[in-house]
A and B are shown apart, each in its own frame.
Chain A
Amino acid sequence: MAGIPVMEGNLAEFALADVLGVLGLSRQYTRLELFFRDHEPAGSIFLKSGKVVQAVTGTTMGREAFMELIQAPVASFRVMRVEMPALIPEPIDTVTSLLMEAAEREDDGPQTTRMDSHEEAAFELRVHPVFRALTEDAHDRATPVAPFPAVTNPQSPGTVKSGMRPIAPSSACVLAIASPKGGAGKTTVALNLALGLTRRGLDVILVDGDINGDVMSAVDARAVADVGVFDVLLGKGRIEDALRGTAVPNLRIIPSLGAVFPSAAVTVDDHTEAWRELLGNLGRRAQVVVVDTPAGMFGTTHQILGASTHVIGVLQAEVIAQRSFTMFSRGLEAVDQSARPVVLGIALNMLQPGSAESVDVLARACADLPERILFDTAIPRSSAFLHAAAEGVPVMLDGAEPAAVSFLFDTLAAEVLDRLRSTATDIGVAREAVLGS
């Protein structure tokens, strides 16, 4: 039966259930053709007006063929609009009913899914003696927060899991958050992006590389830290003692400062090698290490950049920040080319939609920056950040119903992950060159 090709796509990008949901709303007579990874056909599903009229595989037809196709490791699809036969057979069932039945069958069957595998791996990490001690410590000190909402795994309707679908980059990466200008919101971005990444199922370590210690200020916990990252750099403390668990199971923090303020020389001397060793070590303990850097692109930031695999620039949506942003690229150029991090993107922060000047910075960034380097997600200036700071929690965890702006860190985390995956080769190269692992 010939037909007119209407749509095609990759099932890594679109869940099969979602494609069926779309076609189920259509009144056209369509044939959904499914293919395995090697482009061999897996079978077809015929739909009309929300009903599955027929399903066929190489060996079966009807309801069982539909169930077989739903479970099959299909990789791509094509939608054909086909001529309606003179006599349409009695439909198998509605799309909705069949998808529900498929979900029930999956619930009754073996439960090993990609997500389960990931969670098993994460569990293995957590039961490592070092991590177990940290986790227990975290639970002892944890401030109760609202649990992350459970969501339905789009790949498996009806299978409810905690958190979002984990999509990990191929190997750990060290992601510096940098800006030439102070007050651009690096700490806010670093903290909430780290949380956003954990919400997507990743193990994250957030390192406060700014001697001001603003990460701990943001969560109102400065007094908690005994050992800081600068103690570790100076050989006066161990990583294990600096790592702090948090109320979020997959998030650990290394504060900037411990109980004793380090020598002022720590910000002057070159600790690039110590940063490489430290961040390399952390990169083997988590899937993503997020490093909040001090303002400016030189000094400590320069050293951290030389030890990072990736960097995100934070551009404040105001004119002075825009004018000084040329220093972002100059700062990167000053890093030895062999150790220079990949620029993952630039996040616009503190956008004020009501201000023509602020919006103008956005418009100019869109026009002047290379295509796709600016993240789609821009963070607005919002009183929600002030409220969260007053409460001593990240905005994403401020109350049972966090402000709408917190949603944006989920979308930013999704963009970051997409870009990390697309630069996976670069990550491997950068890791090898920079971290020696």
Chain B
Amino acid sequence: MQWETVIGLEIHVQLSTKSKIFSGSSTAFGAEPNTQANVVDLGLPGVLPVFNEGALKKAIAFGLAIDAEINKKSFFERKNYFYPDLPKGYQTTQLESPIVGPGHVDIMLDNGETKRVRIHHAHLEEDAGKSLHEDFHGMSGIDLNRAGTPLIEIVTEPDMRNSAEAVAFAKKLHTIVTAIGICDGEMSQGSMRFDVNVSIRPKGSDVYGTRTETKNLNSFRFMEEAIKLEVERQIDVIEDGGKVIQETRLYNGDTKTARSMRSKEEANDYRYFPCPDLLPVEIDDDYINAIRGTLPELPDTKMKRFESDYGLTEYDASVLSANGDLADYFEVVVKGCNDAKLAANWCMGELSKYLNQSKRDIRDCPITADSLGLLLARIKDDTVSGKAAKTVFQALADGEGSVDDIIDAKGLKQVTDSGAIEAIVDDVIAANRDQFEELKSGKDKLIGFFVGQVMKASKGQANPGQVNAILKKKMAD
């Protein structure tokens, strides 16, 4: 039988506020355990929450970025369950009236088509702490630094049909939340965590199968692996005559295996009800519009602008607009060299390769966008060859000085004096008389040999265009 996969995602996005959602504790990552957990975060008796406006504004910004309705009256509810990393015995969250209503995100598929993924809603809530599973005399340690970090939980409709779509969506969402500055996007620190709901059904069916939820995936790769694994598992179960049971699963990225979470098996009754310590959050159009006014250019808008203003292909525009920092870098490079295509090629080629190899973020790149722009300008004005420019690029990365200093110091300036080039060409022809005759008699591919020899003799400094032109002239002589 042919199976169709149905995927919906729930994404927890940590909002990059300075302080927690209901207390003035820092949200900085990596502090010593429990040093950023104050009386409110610990849920001590008699303490009370007060809502952080920074979290509200970031949640609204997200809603605006996905073209969603913003609820002008929303409120917080308590979701009740006992867990050691949940200090109050309830999570303050939103159920009935979330801040962000239905919206959508468009993703680009491998075949170049655009697909719309609907967002059911996004709600504000507080993060839990962490249970550390190292052994403390057979006990677990609880660190509540993360407890109270503001989150939005984004819930999609079950609109994705394979792992590639899910990953494309996840990456697009990452692009959006980092572009609008509501999340630092540090997946390895848990800033974005994905829960994946997967079910399968016979192709052509319009009834959903029983779904499972694989929780807390914190990389795109794990997400892809976990979905593929779960789809295979469900197909096996059904084809073996079994039934998929609704359950929560845990994927282990190291062993590439998944298992059912026993502790969540017992049916939960979360007893949601409006939190009496917090009042309804009421906002008006002016408040929403003020936030709209502060939104930076959204990735989709930027992509379209890159296509129209710079004449980039859709693919190049989508790659360069996907990361806000890269996009900004690219635009400075274009300004420096006045050639968008050249800038795009270098940003997506040499620069990306370098960042990947050195495991650096564009923000920590030792080559400034101005330097790269200047280097490309030097290619355009024939000061250096493209090949020599790569040497300059590496030297810039190694901190060897400015573009022009490096070109001078390394003697990379192209020889453009045609007399000097012609002399070298003559020497090469003289040394390879027979081959030159063959070239003249029509063996065209030998041209590459001669250009190569001339370049070699000039130690790479001759302008290859000129070499070509002079060779052609000699052949015609």
A, B assembled together: no
